[in-house]
Amino acid sequence: MRRSFFIFMLSFAVFALPVGHKAMAQEVAPEMPEALQALADRGAQSRYLGTKHGMQGWVSIFKGQEQYYYVTPDGKGFVMGLLFDQDGSMATVEQVRALQSKSDDVLDILAIDQEPEESLQALKNKTPDEFAYKSPAERMFADVENSNWVSFGAKDAPVVYSFMDPQCPHCHAFMQDLRAGYIDKGLVQVRMIPVGFTEETLSQAAFLLAAPDSKERWFQYLDGDADAVPAKTTTNTQGVQKNLSLMQAWKFDVTPITVYRGKDGKVKLVRGRAGDMNKVLADLPAS
């Protein structure tokens, strides 16, 4: 069973600065937000990640689970989750790495399945495969690669992965963009990861995974043939359920959502219909 995103993320936060120390370019930790202070009063450990895009970042670990918080610029609210840069890279990961590099203190390893007396090194020796990837982004990309997908395009073309719901209009528009401008020209290979958020679309997504002619049927469906991708209740939905679990684990809450590795080696993420697919194509490594 895969660990959740936040559980894995802590492996990058095992060395952190205590609240009140200087962090990230000598930035002094501000007063802890009330919501985090309430957790701290119950035994949670919180660390300041620094300010990014005008928002103060915090990590809080409570009962073996970590959460990431960003305080709004006016200080009157906060959001919980990951912060991404405009190129799709995980800004939160970079903040955790920066904090890790500046600290001599060891944050208790609370979110990793282990006995209290086990050290991190002992855990690595015990389960080396769990530490094979350099970052949560790499772990996420490995999960995406091993999802259940349908391939569209030339096998030797640069690859992007995209989560799509059969009845999502934005997915339809995005695939139509890709179809004429890129897939048919052999410029990109799209590995569509079918998901379904209703019983009907779940069955349709499962049908796409099972059909031997899924590419042709999907394009017929996009062209208006509703019968090309039927919602057959007899189709096994286990593969689609796995894809949905992957989305939930990585907090992907929209479709389409596209994941790829850029020329710089970094994992990139595009939420929704890509505004300029030419930029994505230019960022893909040559096949």
Domains and CATH numbers, the chain: 5-132 (3.10.450.70), 144-283 (3.40.30.10)
Who has greater pLDDT, 127 or 258? Answer: 258
pLDDT at residue 148 in the model = 93
Looking at 32-41, 108-117, 176-185, which range is the least confident one? 108-117
pLDDT exceeds 60 at position 243: yes
pLDDT at residue 262 in the model = 92
Provide the total of helices (H) and of strands (E) in the chain, helices listed first.
10, 11
pLDDT at residue 180 in the model = 86
* Most confident listed range (17-31, 72-86, 240-254): 240-254
The pTM (predicted TM-score) of the whole model is: 0.58
pLDDT exceeds 70 at position 110: no
Residue whose structure tokens are 């897939």: 183
* Most confident listed range (35-44, 131-140, 149-158, 229-238): 149-158
Q: How confident is the model at residue 215 (pLDDT cuts 50, 70, 90)?
A: very high
For the stretch 136-152, pLDDT in tens is: 888 889 899 999 999 99
Looking at 25-34, 46-55, 244-253, which range is the least confident one? 25-34
Contacts within 8 Å (CB) and 24+ apart, 278-285: 280/160, 281/158, 281/182, 281/187, 281/188, 284/158, 284/159, 284/160, 284/188, 284/260, 285/158, 285/261
